[in-house]
């Protein structure tokens, strides 16, 4: 279906390129010609970044109504005046010539499907009409909203009022979900995002697969750097010599898939040698004996046999953990859906942190909170003006029930399965906001199959992507630099509230999410849902924080100083677990029939001639979302496949040559990838940066550059505890034709 649309879009795009070449030129390059100095900005607008989902404060520099530069906002606690490479290149999204420019509706002309330009009125009317029909026939539960990103809030309000309650985000079951559930099971609360980790003050930091520095969350990397500067010893467990490994005292090139065995080995040593925080555990934890029984046989020797890490290193790290105690930290990672044992692996990490007693201690796990003035003065009724007075129009006859007992959010892959099977109730329509499900979910064939079975698909996005090619209606949202969003009032160590505000007028016919939601609310028969305009709405909330929209627009962020990060000596701790204590052995897991203490199951082995496919991030890209960003793409236009030097030579691979990949299920990549022969990876695994290999020709820059790792991920190892899709049990080999 996407094929059909290509020709038309290419036409539009090349027309744009021609006109821009004749007229203004690539808007980022102004002719400074002979100028010695650089002209001053006309204005600087403080807003919130959305090139990734960390949400740093940025200052946008505008000259002649063009954003020419973005810099970190000085007072924003997430940016501290600094900005990651992606944030620095945000204007590349704003001025992407391939942006969605107007609403599009799929239609069939002479048996051929194609998109045609539509007015906002027509497009939103069609959506309201189709949703009306579908919900009438199949109930509101047959419509599901997928989202990624902060701008989704208005649509959630809209759909909640309409009686649609199934909201799913790949950031759960395809990313951080296992971490959240494991920490909830252990400590009674999740670790949060941004993580409630005191990395900056850690004196001993263990990273498992987490490649800080390549995974470029601004504040996390600032903290990491700060820790290193202060002499923090870093241990990196990674089959690849990552940038973080380059900073580490110990790099443990573990056999992929055996991390849980290593963690159990460390727990074993801490317990056996009594190097854990005995007093803290006695007072605050339950299940110590059960834990010991569970790891009794995880000796260093056995751990070595599984992981390939030398016994001395295993022992040394465990003893160091004990020695540094509460100032050490075993980082739980962020994208943790690897092998299907992810919740248990994260549990083991949580247990390790508990054992060394770093809970609410400097350098350990810390307490985060929201901007306090809200808490103090918040009037709940008034605070949610959109939802407050509006009754839900329809009631769903089913609510989504995950088959995984500990799924606290909706696993996106389960919706895919349910769409295909139609049971326990049919899913007939997807509303997709800002997430390219085809690249983000893995097991692409299933996603495509589900899409074929849907009656109606709506995509709201800034850029075309594979998913928009399958939509019936595409609504072009403007970028974060052209719109207001909800206030960013997030839980963080430094409580803050920050604004996202338009820096420049929306380009083309694109509209901000709140306006799209309002248009839809009118068509869907809820004209009063968004009765305040966005500025009034934001101002109302800010008034309750003793501020105003005017003030926040000027200062960008309000914050209060951090407090209560750490526990006081003798402070009694309460945990929201069944026992009220840290659960070293989880009673809830036991009750649900799972291992109360994490047990190691070996992952599938490499078929002969195949390499385990690992993937990760590059500092200048956010998944596939930035692949078409010409500013960011300049330094990294494509991904490479890292292959161990020796293993690659054995396979007769040449450095720099382009090959296709074939996975264990015989699936061949649609594009080619450049081989990088390197010493920096184990011989049994290969690595690539995720987010490349776009097959939508409308992304003219990203089109067919590199390979999309998701193409090769056809085996999803589902975590039985909460439904996360482990993606690292896939294996590839190479072909030149």
Partner 1 sequence: MSRKRNYAMVIDTHVCVGCSACVYACKAENEVPEGFCRDWIEQKVEGHFPKLTMEIRSNRCQHCEEAPCVTYCPTGSSHYAGDGTVQIDRNWCTGCKACLAACPYDARYVHPEGFVDKCSFCQHRLKQGLQPACVTTCPTSALKLVDLNSNDGLYRQLIEGRTVTQDKVPAGTQPKLFWLH
Partner 2 sequence: MTELVTNKINPNVIPHLHIWGWDVAIYLFLGGIAGGLLIISAAMILLQKGGIFSPEEQTAEYSRQIQVASLLAPVLLGVGMFFLFLDLEFKMHVWRFYTNFNLTSPMSWGSWALLIFFPFSVFQAIVVCQFSQIPRFLFLASWESTLKPYLNKIAAVNVHVGMGIGVYTGILLSTYYARPLWSNTVLGFVFLLSGLSSAAALLLLIAPSREKQLYSKIDMYIIAAEGFATTLFILGGITGTENMKNAMLYLIAGPYAPWFWILFVLAGLIIPLVLETLEAIGKIRFSPFVPLLVLIGSISLRFIIVYAGQEIPTFS
Query: Per rule CB under 8 A, is residue 232 in the interface with partner 1?
Result: no
Query: Per rule CB under 8 A, is residue 279 in the interface with partner 2?
Result: no
Structure tokens at 353: 């942190």
- Between 282 and 679, name the residue whose CB sits nearer to partner 2: 679
- Quick one: which of 65, 634, 650, 665 contacts partner 2 (CB under 8 A)? 634
> Radius of gyration of the chain from Cα atoms?
26
Which one-letter DSSP state was computed for residue 597?
Answer: S
**Dihedral Cα 319, 322, 327, 332, nearest 10 deg:** 80
Distances (CA, A) of 477 to 152, 512, 730: 11, 6, 35
- Quick one: which of 635, 649, 735, 736 contacts partner 2 (CB under 8 A)? 635
Build a one-symbol-per-residue string for 639-668: x at contacts with partner 2 by CB under 8 A, - elsewhere.
------x-----------------------
Q: How many CB atoms lie within 10 A of CB 650?
A: 12
Edge-to-edge strand list for the sheet holding 57-63:
43-48, 57-63, 66-72
- Between 219 and 695, name the residue whose CB sits nearer to partner 1: 219
Query: In whole angstroms, what is the distance from residue 395 CA to residue 265 CA?
Result: 51
- Between 405 and 683, name the residue whose CB sits nearer to partner 1: 683
> Which residues from 9-48 bind partner 1, rule CB under 8 A?
26, 28-38
Query: Per rule CB under 8 A, is residue 636 in the interface with partner 2?
Result: yes
Complete DSSP assignment for 415-437: HHHHHHH--SS---EEEEES--H
- Quick one: which of 7, 21, 81, 389 contacts partner 1 (CB under 8 A)? 81
- Between 282 and 679, name the residue whose CB sits nearer to partner 1: 679
Distances (CA, A) of 268 to 31, 206, 300, 356: 65, 17, 8, 13
Q: Reduced to 3 states, what is the DSSP secondary structure of residue 410?
A: strand
- Quick one: which of 228, 348, 582, 722 contacts partner 1 (CB under 8 A)? 228
- Between 606 and 678, name the residue whose CB sits nearer to partner 2: 678
Query: Per rule CB under 8 A, is residue 99 in the interface with partner 1?
Result: no
Residue with tokens 């003893």: 319
Query: Per rule CB under 8 A, is residue 468 in the interface with partner 1?
Result: no
Binding residues for partner 2, rule CB under 8 A, total 7
> Which residues from 241-300 bind partner 1, rule CB under 8 A?
241, 243-247, 251, 253
CB of residue 94 to partner 1, shortest distance in Å = 12
Window of 125-133, 512-520, 559-567, 674-682 that interacts with partner 2 by CB under 8 A: 674-682
352 close to 266: Cβ distance less than 8 angstroms: yes
- Between 672 and 680, name the residue whose CB sits nearer to partner 2: 680
Query: Per rule CB under 8 A, is residue 683 in the interface with partner 1?
Result: yes
3-state helix, strand, coil split of the chain in percent (to 5) is 35, 20, 45
Residues 6+ apart with CB under 8 A from 727: 174, 337, 338, 442, 615, 713, 716, 717
CB of residue 679 to partner 2, shortest distance in Å = 6
Q: Which helix (H) or strand (E) holds 555?
A: helix 549-555
CB of residue 493 to partner 1, shortest distance in Å = 17
Q: Which does 247 bind (CB under 5 to 8 A by kind): partner 1, partner 2, none?
A: partner 1
Structure tokens at 654: 């040449």
Q: Which does 143 bind (CB under 5 to 8 A by kind): partner 1, partner 2, none?
A: none
Complete DSSP assignment for 444-477: HHHHHHHHHH-SEEEEEESS--TGGGG-SEEEEB
Q: Which does 246 bind (CB under 5 to 8 A by kind): partner 2, partner 1, none?
A: partner 1
CB of residue 636 to partner 2, shortest distance in Å = 7
> Which residues from 10-49 bind partner 2, rule CB under 8 A?
none
Structure tokens at 16: 């744009």
- Between 330 and 643, name the residue whose CB sits nearer to partner 2: 643
- Between 88 and 710, name the residue whose CB sits nearer to partner 2: 88
Distances (CA, A) of 148 to 167, 199, 436, 622, 635: 10, 26, 9, 12, 26
Distances (CA, A) of 180 to 184, 223, 495, 625: 6, 21, 21, 24
Helices (H), 163-208: 170-171, 177-187
CB of residue 37 to partner 1, shortest distance in Å = 4
- Between 194 and 253, name the residue whose CB sits nearer to partner 1: 253
Residues 6+ apart with CB under 8 A from 278: none
- Quick one: which of 157, 210, 222, 539 contacts partner 1 (CB under 8 A)? 222
Build a one-symbol-per-residue string for 310-349: x at contacts with partner 1 by CB under 8 A, - elsewhere.
----------------------------------------
Q: Which residues in this chain contact partner 2 in the complex, by CB under 8 A?
A: 634-636, 645, 678-680
Residues near partner 1 (CB under 8 A):
26, 28-38, 61, 68-72, 81-85, 87-89, 91, 212-214, 216, 218, 221-222, 224-226, 228-229, 241, 243-247, 251, 253, 619-620, 630-632, 634-635, 644-646, 678-683
């Amino acid at each position: 279906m996407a094929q059909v649309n290509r020709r038309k879009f290419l036409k539009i795009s090349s027309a744009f390129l021609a006109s821009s070449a004749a007229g203004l030129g690539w808007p980022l390059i102004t002719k400074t010609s002979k100028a010695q100095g650089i002209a001053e900005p006309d204005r600087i607008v403080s807003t919130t970044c959305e090139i990734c989902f960390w949400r740093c404060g940025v200052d946008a520099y505008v000259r002649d109504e063009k954003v020419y530069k973005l810099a970190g906002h000085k007072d924003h606690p997430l940016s501290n005046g600094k900005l990651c490479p992606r944030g620095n290149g945000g204007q590349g999204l704003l001025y992407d010539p391939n942006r969605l420019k107007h609403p599009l509706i799929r239609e069939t002309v002479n048996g051929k499907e194609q998109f045609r330009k539509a007015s906002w009125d027509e497009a939103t009317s069609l959506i309201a009409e189709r949703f009306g029909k579908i919900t009438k026939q199949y109930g509101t539960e047959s419509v599901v909203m997928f989202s990624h990103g902060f701008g989704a809030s208005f649509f959630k309000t809209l759909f909640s009022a309409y009686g649609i309650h199934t909201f799913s985000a790949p950031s759960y079951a395809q990313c951080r979900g296992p971490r959240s559930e494991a920490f909830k099971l252990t400590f009674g609360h999740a670790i949060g995002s941004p993580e409630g980790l005191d990395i900056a003050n850690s004196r001993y930091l263990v990273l498992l697969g987490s490649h800080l520095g390549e995974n470029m969350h601004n504040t996390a990397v600032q903290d990491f750097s700060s820790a290193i500067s202060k002499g923090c010893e870093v241990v990196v467990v990674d089959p690849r010599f990552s940038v973080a490994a380059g900073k580490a005292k110990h790099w443990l090139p573990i056999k992929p898939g055996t991390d849980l065995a290593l963690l159990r080995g460390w727990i074993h040593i801490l317990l056996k040698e009594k190097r854990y925080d005995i007093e803290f555990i006695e007072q605050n934890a339950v299940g110590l004996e059960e834990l010991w029984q569970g790891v009794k046989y995880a000796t260093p020797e056995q751990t070595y046999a599984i992981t390939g890490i030398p016994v001395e290193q295993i022992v040394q790290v465990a003893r160091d953990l004990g020695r540094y105690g509460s100032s050490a930290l075993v980082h739980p990672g962020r994208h943790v859906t690897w092998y299907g044992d992810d919740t248990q692996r994260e549990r083991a990490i949580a247990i390790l942190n508990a054992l060394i007693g770093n809970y609410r201690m400097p350098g350990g796990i810390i307490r985060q909170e929201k901007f306090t003035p809200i808490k103090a003065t918040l009037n709940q009724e008034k605070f949610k003006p959109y939802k407050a007075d509006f009754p839900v129009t329809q009631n769903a006859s089913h609510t989504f029930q995950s088959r995984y007992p500990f799924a606290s959010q909706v696993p996106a892959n389960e919706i895919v399965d349910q769409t295909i099977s139609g049971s326990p109730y049919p899913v007939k329509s997807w509303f997709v906001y800002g997430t390219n499900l085809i690249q983000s979910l893995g097991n692409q064939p299933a996603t495509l199959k589900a899409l074929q079975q849907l009656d109606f698909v709506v995509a709201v996005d800034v850029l075309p992507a594979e998913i928009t090619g399958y939509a019936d209606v595409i609504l072009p949202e403007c970028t974060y630099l052209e719109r207001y969003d909800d206030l960013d009032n997030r839980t963080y160590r430094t409580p803050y509230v920050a604004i996202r505000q338009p820096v420049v007028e929306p380009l083309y016919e694109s509209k901000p999410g709140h306006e799209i939601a309002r248009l839809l609310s009118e068509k869907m028969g809820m004209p009063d849902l968004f009765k305040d305009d966005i500025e009034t709405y934001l101002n109302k909330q800010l008034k309750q924080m003793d501020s105003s929209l005017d003030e926040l627009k000027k200062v960008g962020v309000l914050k209060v100083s951090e407090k209560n990060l750490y526990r006081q000596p003798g402070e009694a701790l309460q945990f929201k677990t069944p026992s009220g204590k840290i659960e070293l052995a989880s009673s809830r897991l036991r009750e649900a029939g799972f291992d109360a203490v994490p047990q190691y199951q070996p992952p599938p082995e490499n078929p002969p001639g195949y390499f385990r496919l690992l993937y990760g991030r590059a500092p200048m890209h956010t998944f596939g979302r930035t692949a078409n960003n010409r500013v960011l793409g300049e330094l990294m236009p494509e991904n490479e496949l890292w292959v161990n030097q020796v293993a690659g030579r054995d396979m007769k691979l040449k450095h720099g040559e382009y090959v296709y990949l074939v996975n264990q299920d015989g699936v061949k990549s649609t594009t080619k990838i450049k081989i990088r022969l390197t010493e920096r990876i184990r011989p049994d695994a290969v690595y690539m940066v995720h987010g490349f290999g776009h097959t939508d020709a409308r992304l003219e820059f990203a089109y067919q550059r590199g390979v999309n790792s998701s193409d090769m991920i056809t085996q999803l190892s589902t975590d039985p505890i909460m439904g996360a899709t482990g993606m690292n049990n896939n294996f590839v080999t190479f072909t030149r034709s």
